[in-house]
Structures are given as structure tokens and as C-alpha cells.
């Protein structure tokens, strides 16, 4: 923008009388050089010294520190915000952020009518909530809320880059830095506030739209029950944000974020996709093993002992692969041992501890089965105890996995659908794993044939697989029912993604699910309906292998959609996570 010279008229000066078209052009050119808010701000800096400039911000920060029961908070004057993004630039420059890393965003609210449209600029940053979700969800204690100022700070040296706070925060505040492998966020320039200096965004705003105020915590808690932060923003009752947005105007009731109707995929979190599928497959394999070998009399003892070690080793290997995959989601994997520090409040810490217990108990169970096969094992009673404990620990770990996502309070990750999907994945992948391992053992063991496996329990497993896969596919397709809703809810946006940007992924998921979980098991049932003498062990083994392979691919697609289609309410102008 061009600064005004002494000869340039200000906005308050009257334009000369217009007599010719040339006068009109000259008047318009003269008007373009009038001072904007940014120009007036820059000119005041040019005229004033450093001492005078420091007095400019005295009314933008509290004169005293917060008293007991109070804390610092942002106050944004919507009438003054022009959307110039000077606050964004100042925050970016002062904190040395990366090119695509923003701690403050500027968005738009639009509404009104065709005759009187309304555009409202909104600047947003961390709300330094009274009950911050990022703090309670962090598994390593990398957040702290200052007891004196109420400022929520991120401890960069403690962070392991798990990004769970990004999912937990409903306001899209924490930002992941790939270069540093950690998450970072606004701390209200606490070091500047401590010496009586305004934060960068406050000091840079040319129209003084951003201020720092002290608020009463009790009053904010009361108000959060009856007022929304901004139109279409997340409900404040979850984290109780302290930022206040003020206006003297009567805003239209249909005011919504400018990007309210835009639909974009969320982060897919591929390492977590593999981690969840493989660990749930492992738990499912242990559950099916308990059902077949421990709580039934389908096999003679010597046959069961020959199959179980192979089955359990395969199940344990799958679990270990899943846990190893989760490490690739961390920005700083060498510090993963810290992830149990948040056990008191974080479901992610509880999930990690639960899977650690599952890995330990299942390893003991596998070792006991292998020793028993070698003739040096423990008693059947203690093997049954270990098997039951391993299955119980696996179910506990899967429950913690469910709660990790339910605790984010995203509308698409509610308790019952999420728990149903995760448990169905356990069984859908555990059944063909058990069947394939049994058929492999039949090929390597005397006294056991594929016809025996299929006759005694293979057919029942196939029927169960068809029923479970059908149930899960119907559960996933039920999301499309939200397309009929008038309101543009997060569930409707997710459904729009499923038939739009993510439609090919959704179609592949249906294809692999139907072929691997319905058609091929029916082929197995048709083959084994023939007399036992005409069984083709090689054919049955290949079909079972295909069932398992296609089921795994289908579940990976489902879990990818679980993340990529998880739309949640967000602040105006903030990026999807």
C-alpha cells in the first residue's frame, strides 16, 4: 500500500467538484491514495519515537496480572477486524514459523441477503481453554496450563510428535511441524506479556481489533452453556474457550463460515491405519483360537497341540507388526517411551499400556504352547489361564483404541459405531487367519486333513464370516443415509466425501469386502458341500488365502476412510485435520 504524502488529502477531505470526465478520473486516483487503516498505523510509527509507540498498546493489555480466579484471554472486536492478516504475518515472523505453519488464521463469515450481503472477517488463534483437550489428551504431558495466567503452553522438548492433540483440539490450533517432528502452538507471547509488552498479533493489528483481557473463570464456565463461540463453530462446552468476540452490530442469523459448504478429506494417518488393522487382526486371531482349541472338543489333544503353536505364533507376529507400524506415526520415535506419562488422563497412554500388557501376556501364552508342543510345557490349566488373559488383554486394548477416537468427540467417531467397526474387524480378520493356519497345519500334520478342518468347524467359520462382513458393510453404508438431511452436518459432509472425492476408495472397499468376505467364502461352502472324497486341499487353501488377503485389503481401505472421511466442525478459515 502507498503511504500518503503531505500533499495527499486524507479520507476526511472532500473531493473537488466534478465538471468533466477527466476530473472524475483525477478524483478517483486521488481517492485511491487516501489512508487505509494499515497506512495510518504505519504513519503513526513513522512520526512517533519508541517511547511513544510503546504507549500505543497500553490499552490493549491488562494493567495488572490476573487475580485469583482469573486468567488472560483474547478479545476480538469483529467490527474492527478488516481481514488484513497483519496479525498472521507478525505471529509468523516473531515465532520463526515454517512457510505452511500458522498459529493464527483469518477467515470469513458470510450471510445476509442478495440485497444486503454481509461479510465478516474473523481472526482466530489458540483460545487458551479452561479445560484444554490438548492437555488432557497428550500422552507425554507436553502441555501445561499456567496457574497464574491461564495460558496453555506447549513444551516442545517433551513432545514426541504423535499429533493426538491435533485430533483432540476442536479448534484446529496445534500445528504439526514435519521439519522438527513436533507439534507447536500459540502461547499468547507469554514472554512479552510477562514484561508488559503486547503479543505480536495484538501489536501488529492496525485497527486494534485484538486485545488481551482478564476474564473470570467462573463467568466463562457459566456462559459456555448458553452461547456459541462463533456461528457453526465447535460447541464451547467441551473445552470452555476463553476468547470473546464482540460486535455492536446485529449480525444476520444465517451467518456461516465462507468455507462451510466446502468438503475436503482429512488426514489419512496411514501408519495408524496399518497399526489398527494389524493389532485388531492379532486380537481376533487369539479370540478365534480360544473358541476353537480351548473351549471346544473338536480336536483330539495331540492334534490341537500341533496346530496351536503355529496359530499363536502367527497371531503374535501380526500384533508386533501392528505395534511397530505405530512408531512411524511419531515425529520423534526415539522418545516413544514417554508415552505412558499421561496415563491418568490420556486414552492414548492407556492404549499403549494395554497393548504392552497384551504383548507380554500373549508372548507368555505362545511360549507356553510351544513348550507344550515340545513336551516340556506347563499344565493345561495354566495354559487356559494364559490364553484367557491374552484374549482379555487384547479386548481391553481394542476398547482403548475405540476410546482414543471417541474421546476426540468428532461426530463421525461416536462410541457404538466405532466400537462395532473395531470389533468386527477383529473377527473378520481373525476367522480366515485361524482357518488358513489350520489348513496349513493339516498339510504338515499326520492325522489331520483339510476335509476334517472344513467339516468340523471350517464351514461354520465361513458362515460366520459372511454374516459379519455383511453386517459391517451395511454399517458403513448407513452413513449415506445422512445425504437426505437438509442440514449440512459433519456426517453429511462425510457421506458427500464417500460419494465424491473418496468414491473410488469407497468402491474398492466394497469390492474387496464383498469378494473377500462374501463371494469367496460362499465358494468354499459350495466346494465343501460335495462329498469329502472329492475335496481339493490345494483349491481350498488357495481360496482361503485369497479370502484372508482380500479381507485385509478391504479392512485397510475401511480404516483409511475412517480417518479421511472424519469431518468435524472447525473455526472459520482453519485447515482440516
Tell me, letter by letter, the H, E, C secondary structure of 116-127.
CEEEEEEEECCC
Q: 114: part of which helix (H) or strand (E)?
A: none
Query: Mean of the pLDDT values across residues 55-72?
Result: 82
The reported pLDDT for the residue numbered 456 is 77
Give the whole-angstrom CA distance, residue 400 versus residue 409.
Answer: 15
Per-residue pLDDT of 222-259, as tens digits, reads 888 777 788 888 888 899 999 999 999 888 888 999 88
What is the band of 15 on the pLDDT scale with cuts at 50, 70, 90?
Answer: very low
The reported pLDDT for the residue numbered 535 is 64
Query: Mean of the pLDDT values across residues 175-200?
Result: 92
CB 150 within 8 A of CB 549: no
Question: Which one-letter DSSP state was computed for residue 113?
Answer: -
Say which residue, 373 or 213, is predicted with more confidence.
213
- Among 21-35, 337-351, 466-480, the minimum mean pLDDT is found in 21-35
What is the band of 377 on the pLDDT scale with cuts at 50, 70, 90?
Answer: low
Say which residue, 290 or 532, is predicted with more confidence.
290
Q: 50: part of which helix (H) or strand (E)?
A: helix 50-55
What is the band of 11 on the pLDDT scale with cuts at 50, 70, 90?
Answer: very low
Residue 374 has pLDDT above 80, yes or no: no
What is the band of 302 on the pLDDT scale with cuts at 50, 70, 90?
Answer: low
Going across the sheet that includes 105-112, the strands are 117-124, 105-112, 256-257
Query: Mean of the pLDDT values across residues 136-150?
Result: 95
What is the band of 566 on the pLDDT scale with cuts at 50, 70, 90?
Answer: very high
Residue 293 has pLDDT above 90, yes or no: no
Q: What are phi and psi of 351, to 5 degrees?
A: -65, -45
Average pLDDT, the chain: 86
The reported pLDDT for the residue numbered 1 is 30
Q: Which of 2-6, 51-55, 115-119 has the highest mean pLDDT?
A: 115-119
Q: What share of the chain is helix, strand, coil (3-state, %, to 5)?
A: 55, 10, 35
Give the whole-angstrom CA distance, residue 302 versus residue 191.
Answer: 71
The reported pLDDT for the residue numbered 99 is 87
Q: Which of 84, 123, 126, 121 is nearest to 251 (CA)?
A: 121
What is the band of 368 on the pLDDT scale with cuts at 50, 70, 90?
Answer: confident
Give the whole-angstrom CA distance, residue 183 versus residue 175.
Answer: 5
Q: How many CB atoms lie within 10 A of CB 481?
A: 11
Q: What are phi and psi of 64, to 5 degrees?
A: -130, 160
What is the band of 159 on the pLDDT scale with cuts at 50, 70, 90?
Answer: very high
CB 207 within 8 A of CB 80: yes
Give the whole-angstrom CA distance, residue 430 versus residue 433.
Answer: 5
Long-range pairs of 491-497 with CB within 8 A, sequence gap ≥ 24: 491/411, 491/412, 491/567, 493/263, 493/567, 494/412, 494/565, 494/566, 494/567, 496/263, 497/263, 497/265, 497/564, 497/565, 497/567
The reported pLDDT for the residue numbered 58 is 65
Query: Mean of the pLDDT values across residues 142-171?
Result: 95
Global pTM? 0.86
Per-residue pLDDT of 189-227, as tens digits, reads 999 998 888 999 999 999 999 999 999 999 999 888 777
The reported pLDDT for the residue numbered 2 is 32
Beta strands 152-154 and 143-145, pairing class: antiparallel
Q: Which of 269, 53, 5, 322 is nearest to 163 (CA)?
A: 269
Give the whole-angstrom CA distance, residue 110 versus residue 543.
Answer: 57
Per-residue pLDDT of 83-129, as tens digits, reads 999 999 999 999 989 988 999 999 999 998 888 889 999 999 999 99
The reported pLDDT for the residue numbered 359 is 95
Residue 487 has pLDDT above 60, yes or no: yes
Give the whole-angstrom CA distance, residue 21 versus residue 6.
Answer: 26
The residue ranges of DSSP E strands in 252-389, in sequence order, are 256-257
Q: 447: part of which helix (H) or strand (E)?
A: none
Read off the C-alpha cell for 112: 445476509
Say which residue, 395 or 23, is predicted with more confidence.
395
Say which residue, 180 or 5, is predicted with more confidence.
180
Q: Which of 185, 186, 175 is nearest to 331 (CA)?
A: 175
The two most distant CA atoms of the chain are separated, in Å, by 111
Buried-state track 320-354, b at ≥16 Cβ within 10 A, e below 16: bebbebbeebbbbeebbebbbebeeebbbbbbbbb
What is the band of 13 on the pLDDT scale with cuts at 50, 70, 90?
Answer: very low
Angle formed at CA 544 by CA 542 and CA 545, multiple of 5 degrees:
65
Reduced to 3 states, what is the DSSP secondary structure of residue 71?
A: strand
Say which residue, 531 or 5, is predicted with more confidence.
531
Give the whole-angstrom CA distance, residue 282 versus residue 363.
Answer: 12
Query: Mean of the pLDDT values across residues 301-312?
Result: 72
Amino acid at each position: 500500500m502507498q503511504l500518503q504524502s503531505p500533499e495527499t488529502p486524507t479520507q476526511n477531505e472532500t473531493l473537488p467538484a466534478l465538471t468533466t470526465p477527466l476530473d472524475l478520473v483525477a478524483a478517483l486516483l486521488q481517492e485511491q491514495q487516501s489512508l487505509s487503516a494499515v497506512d495510518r498505523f504505519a504513519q503513526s510509527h513513522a512520526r512517533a519515537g519508541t517511547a511513544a509507540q510503546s504507549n500505543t498498546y497500553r490499552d490493549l493489555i491488562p494493567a495488572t496480572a490476573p487475580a485469583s480466579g482469573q486468567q488472560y484471554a483474547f478479545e476480538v472486536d469483529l467490527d474492527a477486524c478488516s481481514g488484513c492478516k497483519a496479525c498472521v504475518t507478525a505471529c509468523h515472523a516473531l515465532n520463526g514459523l515454517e512457510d505452511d505453519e500458522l498459529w493464527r488464521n483469518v477467515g470469513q463469515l458470510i450471510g445476509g441477503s442478495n440485497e444486503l450481503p454481509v461479510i465478516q472477517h474473523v481472526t482466530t488463534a489458540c483460545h487458551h481453554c479452561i479445560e484444554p483437550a490438548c492437555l488432557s489428551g497428550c500422552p507425554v504431558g507436553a502441555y501445561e496450563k499456567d496457574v497464574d495466567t491461564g495460558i496453555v503452553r506447549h513444551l516442545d522438548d517433551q513432545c514426541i510428535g504423535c499429533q493426538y492433540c491435533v485430533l483432540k483440539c476442536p479448534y484446529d490450533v496445534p500445528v504439526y511441524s514435519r521439519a522438527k517432528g513436533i507439534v507447536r502452538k500459540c502461547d499468547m507471547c507469554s514472554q512479552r506479556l510477562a514484561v508488559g509488552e503486547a503479543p505480536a498479533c495484538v501489536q501488529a493489528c492496525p485497527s486494534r481489533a485484538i486485545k488481551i483481557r482478564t476474564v473470570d473463570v467462573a463467568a466463562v464456565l457459566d456462559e459456555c452453556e448458553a452461547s456459541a463461540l462463533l456461528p457453526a463453530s465447535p460447541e464451547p462446552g467441551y473445552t470452555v474457550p476463553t476468547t470473546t468476540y464482540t460486535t455492536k452490530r446485529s449480525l444476520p442469523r444465517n451467518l456461516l463460515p465462507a468455507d462451510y459448504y466446502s468438503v475436503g478429506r482429512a488426514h489419512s494417518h496411514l501408519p495408524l491405519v496399518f497399526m489398527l488393522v494389524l493389532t485388531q487382526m492379532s486380537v481376533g486371531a487369539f479370540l478365534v483360537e480360544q473358541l476353537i482349541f480351548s473351549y471346544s472338543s473338536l480336536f483330539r489333544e495331540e492334534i490341537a497341540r500341533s496346530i496351536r503353536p503355529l496359530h499363536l505364533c502367527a497371531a503374535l507376529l501380526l500384533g508386533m507388526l501392528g505395534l511397530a507400524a505405530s512408531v512411524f506415526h511419531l515425529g520423534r520415535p526415539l522418545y516413544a517411551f514417554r508415552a505412558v506419562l499421561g496415563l491418568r488422563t490420556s486414552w492414548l497412554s492407556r492404549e499403549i499400556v494395554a497393548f504392552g500388557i497384551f504383548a507380554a501376556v500373549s508372548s507368555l501364552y505362545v511360549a507356553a504352547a510351544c513348550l507344550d508342543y515340545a513336551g516340556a510345557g506347563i499344565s493345561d490349566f495354566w495354559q487356559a489361564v494364559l490364553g484367557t488373559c491374552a484374549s482379555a488383554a487384547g479386548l481391553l486394548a481394542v476398547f482403548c483404541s475405540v476410546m482414543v477416537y471417541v474421546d476426540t468427540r468428532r461426530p463421525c467417531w461416536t462410541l457404538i459405531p466405532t466400537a462395532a467397526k473395531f470389533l468386527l474387524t477383529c473377527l473378520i480378520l481373525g476367522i480366515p487367519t485361524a482357518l488358513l493356519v489350520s489348513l496349513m497345519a493339516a498339510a504338515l500334520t499326520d492325522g489331520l486333513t483339510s476335509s476334517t478342518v472344513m467339516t468340523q468347524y471350517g464351514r461354520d467359520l465361513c458362515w460366520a464370516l459372511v454374516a459379519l462382513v455383511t453386517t459391517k458393510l451395511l454399517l458403513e453404508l448407513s452413513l449415506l443415509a445422512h445425504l437426505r438431511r437438509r442440514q449440512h452436518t459433519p456426517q453429511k459432509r462425510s457421506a458427500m466425501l464417500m460419494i465424491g472425492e473418496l468414491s473410488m476408495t469407497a468402491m474398492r472397499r466394497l469390492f474387496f469386502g464383498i469378494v473377500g468376505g462374501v463371494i469367496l467364502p460362499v465358494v468354499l461352502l459350495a466346494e465343501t458341500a460335495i462329498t469329502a472324497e472329492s475335496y481339493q486341499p490345494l483349491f481350498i487353501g488357495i481360496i482361503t488365502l485369497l479370502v484372508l488377503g482380500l479381507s485385509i485389503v478391504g479392512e485397510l481401505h475401511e480404516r483409511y476412510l475412517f480417518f479421511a472421511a472424519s469431518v468435524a466442525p472447525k473455526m472459520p478459515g482453519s485447515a482440516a485435520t
